[in-house]
Chains A and B, each alone.
Chain A
Amino acid sequence: MAGITEFKIYVPPYRLNGDMISSVWGRGNRKTSRPIMSFDEDTNTMAVEAILDDSTWGEVDVDALYYASTSFPYTEKSNASIVAEASDLKSDIFTAEFSGSLRSSTTALRSAAESVKAGTIKSAVVVASESRPSYPGSPDELSLCDCSAALFVGDGEKVIAEIEDFYSWSEDFIDRWRLPGGKSISSGDAKFIQDYGYIRQTVATVEGLLKKTGATPEDIAHVVFYSPDVRTSRAINKKLGFPESSFSKSPVVEKIGDAGTVMPFISLIETLKKARPGEYIIITGHGSGGDAILLRATDHIANFDSSNGLEKALEKQIPLENYGKILLSYGITSEDEIIPFTSPSILWKENRANMRLFAGKCKTCSEIQYPRQQVCNGCGTRDKWDEIKLHRRGKIFTFVHDYLPPSPNGYITMATADMEGGGRFYAQLTECNKEDVKIGMEVELTFRMLHKGDGFYNYFWKFRPV
């Protein structure tokens, strides 16, 4: 039976702290803190972070990519193809994007599981990524969370939780919405949304699933509702009557904020980490109706290394030290714009090098060259290459802090690093203060939005400290 085989969460390290929001805007909970992406990240780069780590680097073998977000960088043009390319997924892959509703992630998960069940694909990665906009000073500024999560769906022995059944329903409902280009999320009447949206619709969703499967609340060991806050979750459960033990004492929303489409995935991952073999799990997605998914933990879950959870994703935290840095994360910058040169045909020609990080290893002299030329710069042999993928990690050979190019930080650190397994890479260093950079420092490659030359997103790799 189809089910979850692996998972990973990515939460950007930068934190927008309540005390700063309070000091700038005179309101907001001083004790709150929310994750916010860096100026060089977007939904697509975070989706790649959720898929790639040392163990999946160049090794993700799936038949399909299901990608959910309400905040895709491109409204028109594939976002999934960017994620697939950077994650180095095979090219004969089925890609699908799910957007609009906040339950597009659970819808994507259902679709992936159904295709695996139907046997039309053997495996899929389902990734949700979110960076919803909040107006500076708006109530959402402290409540939203930028992050991403990936669920790997497959069949057979690797499955740690089988996806047993689904229930979905649809009802048009105006609760929260955002028009194209909107800088913040609009809301209707809060009490109406609370009672008739989140609570009534989620209750109906779960009741529908229970009715369909013949299960009772007592059969379910873990239940997770999508809701923008803890209070709403409690109100939903009050109506449904699941045992207290099945209901998380510290829901994810309390830890990181409202992660939109990513929320059901993180909640599921956190639930899987504590689930025991045979236990039933319900997760829900909400938005103009709802999705409910029933899962059952398999025997394999007992031996599963579940270290890729939220705790690990929250290990690195960097508080943003001033509001200017926050504005940069929103994409608001006073930097003068020198329009970077780019060329779609160059990018297309160099996809395997620039997006998938393939270098050449000369069959004659074994020199590893990146970017690969036709003629080996080591021995002069033409076109006799083995393609090899650059390793994710390396050590800085030398570096410079350059104050001349426009940069939100005032300088750009450029580094050359010797990569594990051979080859050299030269790139910007991100998530690092210049005081901490040393020769020999271990770095890893991270996929970033490099610039917006010609008005489109130009993605490339940067280093960050390990």
Chain B
Amino acid sequence: MSETISGKVAIIGVGITKFGELFEKSYNDLVVDAAFEAYEDSGLNPEDVEAAWLGTYLPLGWGFDGTGGPSLAEALNLYPKPVSRVSNYCTTGMEAVRMAAMAVASGMYDVVLAVGAEKMREVPPRGSLVAQHIEKLHPMYSKGRTAPGSFAILATRYFEEYGATKEDLAEVAVKNHYHGSLNPRAHFRKEITKEQVLNAPPVTEPLGLYDCCPTTDGAAALVLCKAELAEKRFNKKDYILIDGMGLSCATGYITTAFNPNFKFTGFEATQHASKQAYEQAGIQNPLEEIDVAEVHDCFTITEILNYEDLGFVKKGEGPDFVKSGSSKLGGQLPVNTSGGLKSCGHPIGATGARVLGDLSNQLLGRCGDRQVKNAKKALGHTLGGPGAVSSVFILSKN
């Protein structure tokens, strides 16, 4: 790697909408709410934005909800600036931020905007993803396959090899619902019990209803600028620096399930992406050096595998990490203090941007009841396609 991103790009503004079933909000409403909150937070004038990236995974229609850059330009009146849309499965929101950060680091722009948005609840929950697998994916290989199924199939293998159980998974759900109860913007704000998780109806056995994130609407926006301009031009005493960011495509989308080398007990994409980010950020021991993390808990099993793939613990020790309370608020390395995808919800394109926004707020000490004390270094992680692609960011306060 010739150059590191470390220290070159600052996050100076964060905007996150309420996440939930926002039937009264349009796609454009969500984009505007998130972007203008970020504008206000950064103190810039909308005209200052020189270029923008939009992350939306799967436009439900054509031309009015994130099909391309014009969707964002139209919502925010960014005409005639360069705006493009990126899509990279569940890393989409993070990918918009990564593109924006690279553009700033290249020196091409001083100030840019990254927005992640997904409006999933204009259709029934099933219509957004389950039906898509049947209606749009490969005529043969994808029939019978779903997103939850593609993660649950790892749980079956992980249980077999490491002796983990559904009770271990339930710990993740209980923890993240507790965290979500403290986050006013989360989709679910109720605590749940282990019994509720274990007695919930099956969705993709061994996963039950509470092992799965909901189908949610939401958007998040970040204003990024050259690090040296944060204070000089925007008068920011406190701002966020990107220490490292990695992205890895380590397997195929369809082919993963057919791949004889895929172990079904973890995700190489996360391992590679975190390695890239750790190298840039100079992280040697993530468990010791990172103070707060948001990881991709689309399903409870995923969070447990993430602990291991990100190097927080060794292979097979993921269940103990959550059971011991290490990943809970007040623990050694609080994970998903926002409530995670489990409680915040997972508007696919928004999630990655939301994760980085939430972590920025933690580092700036703006998280109220769920604030991690003295958080100086944060890790954000997303994983998509199921497990084919992963993005990892390391952030710190200036």
Binding site for B on A (CB under 8 A): 338-343, 346-347, 350, 354, 367-371, 373, 377-378, 397-407, 411-412, 414, 416, 418, 422-428, 434, 439, 450-451, 453, 458, 460
Contact = CB atoms under 8 A, between A and B. Distances in A.
A450 B140 contact: yes
Contact of B257 (A339, A350, A416, A434): A416
Contacts of A341: 134-139
Q: Is the interface of A mostly helix, strand, loop or mixed?
A: mixed
Contacts of A406: 134
B146 A402 contact: yes
A405 B146 contact: yes
Contacts of B203: 402-404
B258 A371 contact: yes
A446 to B, nearest CB: 14
Name the interface size band of chain B.
Answer: 35 or more
A2 to B, nearest CB: 39
B149 A370 contact: no
Given A402-B144, A404-B148, A405-B146, A397 B205 contact: no
Most chain B C-beta atoms within 10 Å of own C-beta, residue among A343, A400, A428: A400
Contacts of A399: 153, 156
B140 A404 contact: no
Contacts of B153: 398-400, 414, 416
A402 B143 contact: no
B160 A398 contact: yes
Interface stretch (B4-12, B29-37, B70-78, B125-133): B125-133
A202 to B, nearest CB: 45
B141 interface: yes
B261 to A, nearest CB: 8
B135 A354 contact: no
Contacts of B254: 371
Given A373-B255, A403-B204, 16 more contacts: A342-B139, A369-B258, A369-B259, A370-B258, A377-B252, A398-B156, A400-B204, A400-B206, A402-B203, A403-B205, A405-B144, A406-B134, A411-B205, A426-B141, A427-B144, A439-B156
Contacts of A411: 202, 205
A114 B276 CA distance: 71
Contact of A434 (B141, B205, B260): B205
Contacts of A404: 126, 130, 146, 148-149, 203-204
A339 B146 CA distance: 15
B143 A400 contact: no
Contacts of A400: 149, 152-153, 155-156, 204-206
A416 B264 contact: yes
B264 A338 contact: no
B157 A397 contact: yes
B205 A340 contact: no
Interface in B257-285: 257-261, 264
Nearest to A347: B139
Given A340-B134, A416-B258, A401 B202 contact: yes
